[in-house]
Amino acid sequence: MTQSDVFQGSVAVAETARDKAAYQGFLAGLFVHDIRWHLFSSIRIPPTSPPALEFLERFKAALLSLDAERIDREGELPDSTIKDLAGLGAFGIKIPRYYGGLELSQSEYQQVATLCGSVDASLTVLLSAAQSIGVPEPLRLFGTDDQKARYLPRLARGEISGFALTERHVGCDISKVDTYAVRVLERGETVGYRLTGDKFFITNSAKRDGEFLSSMLVVIARIVDKPDDMKDSRAPKRYGAFIVETQWPGCSVTRLHFEGVRAIYNGAPSFDRVYVPIENRLGGEEDGLRIALATLTVGRLTLPAACLGGLKQCVALMRWWAKARVQWNKPIGEHTLIGEKLCRTAAYALALEAVMAYCGAWANKKGDLRLESAAAKIIGSEWYWEAVNDLFQVRGGRGFMTADSQRKSGEVPVPVMRMMRDARINLVWEGTSEILRIWMAREALAPYIDQGLALLDGSWSEKTAAALYYSRACLRSSLPLLHAKGPSGLFGKDYARWTRLIESASRKLSRSTLVAALRHRQGLHNKQLQLQGLVDDSLLIFPMTAVLWFASQPEMRIKPGIRQLVDYFCEDMADRLRTGSSVTGRGGRPGRDTAVYRLSKAIMNGDYAWLEDGIMPGMNSDPTAAGTANHPK
């Protein structure tokens, strides 16, 4: 078998697992110049229910006693913390009340993640992995009534779970999973499976060597008739998803340790002929990869929601220090090279909150978020990483000190280095920024690729249909959109110039996509740098549209200075679209120094304190710490 055959086999397996339903979300439309304004006009910022508000208050109270520095130093979450969270129902946030859970909506759950992300990354990962990608989510999506009745009440009471997909040599190419499940037959019928293999990088799996933190895992494995089938290239590749209870014989685990997020309970579980009854299989024997992909789609939204909490903390800390630190007879935030960092961080916080509000609203309605969740993960992780780096730069030498050393020397203990160590992994787990860009390109360009194949190898009628498709695409990408109701009426006349920019940018993106598809056809998947450029344009247009929608909502229009901050963000996105750069332009646009100076002063003076809503009021747990009373504002 040639390397090309192996590659084509992997592609075939991946294609089988794909959700082939036409994309109905906003991002997919940008690539074909179909700006789906109705997806914004038909929703509002999701309100928070009274039960969610009550839970958030109780959750905040529990977080007040959390010592994030001690957790980082010792690499352990206190058992008492885990027990207290279980008592609050924090492991059953989205589980229906019928099964003992809180039944909060996705948008309400994202608020919990934002709150948690502003305090401690390890705790955030524990809660996120337990219910966003752990057993509750695939069970909710694909489980039978009997499976839900058996497991959801246990999970709602606080039992911890995880999702076991990746392996030592298998990351994003999930068609290469080597863990296998041999069918156990009785009278010719499958009654169970013998599960064998090793998983790697499995969150919430290990507490100590050999000891599981989780009581159950969803394990993705290839289903075979006998172990030798794993070496037979002709054997069919079917992948199943199994609920495995970790106390079953044959299960063991080794804990892994990391440079950041040090109290994460990540491990390498092993399974040695573990018997799994057939009633513990989720879905059919060919549904495993589909279940994995579907679970990650909504589960991936937790990470950018947590990044939003970190971003908001960066705003709080940066605005405090930019005003408190004086150099050359004025606060450093009034020096526009520093002020620009403050303005950019504040703009990112506003835009990411807008993106998460949009995604939360459509997740509540079970809308199509396949591309949007990936986009939110990319921009959330990358913006937060950029903001933490800027915070380090603004703090100067103090940013390189440990929080304990700062405290002992009479400084306010701001743990910038811990924040950096914890933030870096966000660009890698749950899909690296690179692989998610490739995936987004593959999915967004699917119509062009499918029609291109028909144009080359299809029947006469298929070739005619494909030619008509490309003709319409050329027309769409060349002419302005016509709307019965202009977009300026959707977001208001204050933002009309930005809606016009979104339309022109989408037209340019669709033209570039069409040209790339026609030029490279089947070879387009190898043009990864070109695909990255197309996706990056969509990652500028999407948050710009979200922030216009968010800022035009009645509850946001009254926020002090919101129009100025929206204009600053949109100017930044427009600069990047013009220059073709995914990072902010550092050029001297006329009037930029004046705009940055005024905006940074307003942020330092507290005009934008509302940006810090939804996070814990301080970075350290000791209210007697030197400097200020717990929160350096």
Question: Active-site residues: which are they?
Answer: 430
Burial tier of 339 (Cβ tally within 10 Å: 0-12, 13-18, 19+): buried
* CA dist., res. 243 & res. 280, Å (int): 5
Which pair of structure tokens corresponds to residue 555? 């509850």
* CA dist., res. 184 & res. 188, Å (int): 9
DSSP E strands, 278-384:
281-282, 326-327, 330-331
Which pair of structure tokens corresponds to residue 109? 């759950």
- Cα distance between the two ends of the chain: 64
Half-sphere exposure of 117 (CA within 13 A, CB side): 28
Crossing angle for the helix pair 528-551 and 496-520, nearest 10 degrees?
A: 160
Of 242, 250, 249, whose CA–CA distance to 223 is shortest?
A: 242
Burial tier of 394 (Cβ tally within 10 Å: 0-12, 13-18, 19+): buried
Q: Residues 345, 351, 354, 356: is their CA dihedral positive or negative?
A: negative
* CA dist., res. 128 & res. 307, Å (int): 12
Query: 212 - beta bridge partners?
Result: 206
* CA dist., res. 595 & res. 630, Å (int): 32
> Identity (one letter) of the amino acid at 298?
V
* CA dist., res. 342 & res. 350, Å (int): 13
Is 209:254 a contact under the CB 8 Å cutoff? yes
The H or E element spanning position 417 is helix 416-424
* CA dist., res. 593 & res. 571, Å (int): 13
* CA dist., res. 39 & res. 89, Å (int): 33
Query: 253 - beta bridge partners?
Result: 269
* CA dist., res. 382 & res. 582, Å (int): 11
360: Cα separation from own chain's centroid: 12
* CA dist., res. 600 & res. 603, Å (int): 5
Place of tokens 């509850």: 555
CA distances from 477 to 449, 505, 530, 578 (A): 17, 10, 18, 18
Q: For 458-474, give one letter per residue: b (16+ CB within 10 A) or e.
A: beeeeeeebeebbeebe
Is 184:192 a contact under the CB 8 Å cutoff? yes
* CA dist., res. 301 & res. 377, Å (int): 7
Coil, helix or strand at residue 459: coil
